[in-house]
Amino acid sequence: MQVSIADEHAAAALKSKEAALKEAHYWRLELGKAQEQNLVLETSLMRMQDCLQQLKAAHDKELSQPQAARLLL
């Protein structure tokens, strides 16, 4: 009887360990997905900032031209 109780405890502990390992694996995968999405978003943000900088430079250049020249454009 003592052996069967110990076996049950060992089996329960093993089951608990396997469940914990599965959950840890799941969260590692989720973290990897989140990091990948973060990289994509940061890259998009950098591209948007570059575009904004180019638009601002073009706008400043246009404003620096005399008004008569701006009307021709």
| Digit-coded pLDDT (tens) for 8-40 | 999 999 999 999 999 999 999 999 999 999 999
pTM for the predicted model, two decimal places: 0.63
The widest CA-to-CA distance across the chain, in whole angstroms, is: 101
Q: How confident is the model at residue 67 (pLDDT cuts 50, 70, 90)?
A: confident
Contacts (Cβ under 8 Å, ≥6 apart) of 65: 73
